[in-house]
Amino acid sequence: MSINFEEVRLRLPHIELAAHLYGPEDGRPVIALHGWLDNAASFARLAPKLSGLRIVALDFAGHGHSDHRPAGGSYAIWDYVHDVLQVAEQFGWQRFSLLGHSMGAIVSVLLAGAMPERVERLALIDGLMPYTGEADTAPGKLGEALRAQLTLAGKRKPVYAEFERAVKARMQGVGAVTYEAAELLAQRGLMPVPGGYTWRTDSRLTLPSPLRLTQAHAMAFVQALRCPSKLVLAEQGMLQAQPQLSELLSGLPLEVVRLAGGHHLHLDDEFGAQLVADCFKAFLQAS
């Protein structure tokens, strides 16, 4: 597929991130945030359908072509929030909208809840709140994370002799995707190494979280939203698997639209991308 975008690198005060720019420079500002272990190519089908918007589709730190965190650093969800805010600062955007998928949706909610004066609109795709943990599970979760950190140095990334093998592996990864979607993600996410190809992603991204927000913490961020917010819920997606989903969504300050498709419905095929675009185009362009 032919995609028109500009590849840029953003030198932030603490890290350098890569991004794809879509749309006119004077379009309404939108920062697009992908899911865990994905990259900016997550929006390759959707972004071109959202005309009139200036979309900055980021590679999160440790993903795609962005820098990895320094040695000894970690990938706490709130650190991504800081990164996104710094990206907005670099573009001089005091007000902007967020388009987030999965983990990118979670980061979007945290930023919009924490700094409502900066976020104009919130467009979420099959993601809302982080996995939570209560106080009594915290010691065990920290111990699990510490043990995983000790063994990380001895682990090696998989090497695929052929590009197609990596694509097929990604099809079965977190949030299973179509071959075409996996190919788009792999084109940006792979790098050549002796013996074939491996993923660019930082191995530390696979470590378990040492600390999780409680359910009360997570709900507080959603309830703190002050901007118009819209959630596309994939009928065969990952959110549907959460227990008591309807109860969770009831009373929250966001509009929910249910669409047929899997967790990556905005990327799996052109039809799904168009459905999501139809939900968000006028919404993100509104004053």
Sequential pLDDT tens for the chain (287 residues): 556 899 999 999 999 999 999 999 999 999 999 999 999 999 999 999 999 999 999 999 999 999 999 998 889 999 999 999 999 999 999 999 999 999 999 999 999 999 999 999 999 999 999 989 999 999 999 999 999 999 998 889 999 999 999 999 999 877 789 999 999 999 999 999 999 999 999 999 999 999 999 999 999 999 999 999 999 999 999 988 776 777 778 878 899 999 999 999 999 999 999 999 999 999 999 97
**Catalytically annotated residue among 42, 66, 97, 102:** 102
pLDDT on residue 206: 94
pLDDT on residue 173: 77
pLDDT on residue 261: 95
Between CA 134 and CA 106 the distance in angstroms is: 18
Nearest to 129 by CA among 91, 77, 87, 75: 77
pLDDT on residue 229: 96
pLDDT on residue 100: 98
pLDDT on residue 1: 56
209 catalytic per annotation: no
Nearest to 126 by CA among 149, 109, 148, 142: 109
Helical (H) or strand (E) element with 88: helix 77-91
Residue 186, class by beta-carbon neighbours within 10 Å (0-12 exposed, 13-18 middle, 19+ buried)?
buried
pLDDT on residue 281: 96
Q: Which two tokens stand for residue 187?
A: 């084109």
Complete domains list, the chain, with CATH: 6-134+213-285 (3.40.50.1820)
In this structure, are strands 119-125 and 96-101 parallel, antiparallel, or unpaired?
parallel
